[in-house]
Structure 1
């Protein structure tokens, strides 16, 4: 098999933000030619597939500026600097939904858009929830909902659920809990 590695020759930071950085990298392609790659660096994120005792999926409804619309998704958030994904998952679950959990299990991790970003999402599952108090960030406005798998499937059909991590969560539950 061919070596498909693209070796970085130089890189320039175009933007450094609160959440992401954008770099343009000049690379040597496998055939020896030179190419450019725009790479978005992200600290990583967590997502939580949380189910109640009644076997309902806990989701949040929030406006997403990048999409210019409100969507329904599983609780999720970015890793803070130096934070372990497990700790982040527990923190995000409580902040966004008010739920806490003693037991939480990592399901998997996946890259969201490897063509231009290194963002990885660590996905966790819990069905041992205790109700607490929602503590969203000052610029975060979310409604908490509890939905059945059938309701989630309808929301996928109607376009209320359109993000990959939430569709992944619904499929996970169908395969493992159904």
Structure 2
């Protein structure tokens, strides 16, 4: 069965600081014409940060698209400072957002965050062997973060109660549970 759609036209309707929005007219394999709205976003990283006392670090922050405060793992986009290196971005974001560095930084998975409308690709890392950074990198001026540490049991209960709804964070928590179950 053929799935690929053929673009007929494309127009950028918004080009902002964080995203670019493209509207495509496409022809599907059955010959029907459809419209696709695509959000282009830089690649990103997320970090499951596990402390020496076996807790994870979460960030509390306001998220305008959902108009509420969330609990999330540290994360950020891969930008020009990273020379397209997700690992470099993970090290930088860990410094900027937690003021920590990790002895071990293990890539867990790469995934698209919302394939129905966005091309953002995120790489998830586990950071362990934590130490305070020697040189603090500047934090993003538009971010207001508060760090929280929780155990795995607390994190799982927070997911169950709907207190953690962010997909990358839920994925990281379930990965952490799998690490404990499978070694």
TM over 0.5: yes
Distance, in Å, in 1 between the alignment partners of 2:56 and 2:174 is 12
Q: 2:140 aligns with which of 137, 141, 165?
A: 137
Unaligned runs of 5+ in 2: none
Distance, in Å, in 2 between the alignment partners of 1:103 and 1:54 is 16
Scaled by the length of structure 2, what TM-score is found? 0.92
Distance, in Å, in 2 between the alignment partners of 1:159 and 1:149 is 15
CA contact (8 A) 2:103 2:128 kept: no
Which residue of 2 is the match for residue 30 of structure 1?
29
Q: How many residues are treated as equivalent by the alignment?
A: 177
CA contact (8 A) 1:59 1:144 kept: yes
Scaled by the length of structure 1, what TM-score is found? 0.94
CA contact (8 A) 1:155 1:161 kept: yes
Q: SS in structure 1 opposite 2:60?
A: strand
Q: 2:159 aligns with which of 151, 156, 159?
A: 156
1:64-103 equivalences in 2 (<5 Å): 64-81=63-80, 82-103=83-104
Listed one character per residue, the Cα deviations across residues 121-151 of structure 1 (whole Å, up to 9, x for unaligned) are 1100121111235842111110111110111
Unaligned runs of 5+ in 1: none
Q: How large is the Cα RMSD of the aligned pairs?
A: 1.3
